[in-house]
Amino acid sequence: MSLSDISPEQYSAMFRSYLVEPMREQDLIEVVEIEEMSGLNRWGYDAYRRELFTNPNSLMMVARNLHPGPAIAGFFAGWIVEDELHINNVASRPEYRRIGVARSLLESAIDDSACRGVLLVILEVRASNEAAQALYGKLGFKLIGRRRDYYRGPIEDALVMRKELK
């Protein structure tokens, strides 16, 4: 097998320039920076810090860059409640998009959650965010509904997607 025989996903996994691991307090400045670049509903530093230190249901991860440059390539924030993982935020820096960062974060979070007994994963995504919708579809998420005017700045509907874990 040669490099030309492998998929982009396989290539990214073989030559990954980042490591997915739990979020730490020193990551929060860059997490908020990525949040602001990504058009996510704003949580801000204090909300992420609160999640890290006071919410036992939080699942907070980062893709830590292994090369010179920004320390954090992307992040994931979610909640595990009973047998459900709710994905709150997942984003990567613009220069780290389309190389598997968000996919790796999602797969790591889902794998971690499955080990904790999670059976269902649910998320909302901007109706206009076709790239994220395509990624979620590749990961096995199905569209189950729509929330009108869910997002602010700009106001936009959210599509609700879910994935059942076996």
* Alpha carbon distance 125, 112 (integer Å): 22
Q: Report the relative pairing of strands 84-92 and 120-126 from DSSP bridges.
A: parallel
Q: Of the residues 18, 48, 96, 136, which is catalytic?
A: 136
Is 136 labeled as catalytic in the residue annotation? yes
Q: Of the residues 84, 124, 130, 151, which is catalytic?
A: 124
Q: Give CA 157 to chain center in angstroms.
A: 19
* CA trace torsion 118, 47, 158, 121 (10° rounding): -10
Alpha-carbon radius of gyration of the chain: 16
Is 9 labeled as catalytic in the residue annotation? no
Query: Which amino acids are annotated catalytic?
Result: 124, 136
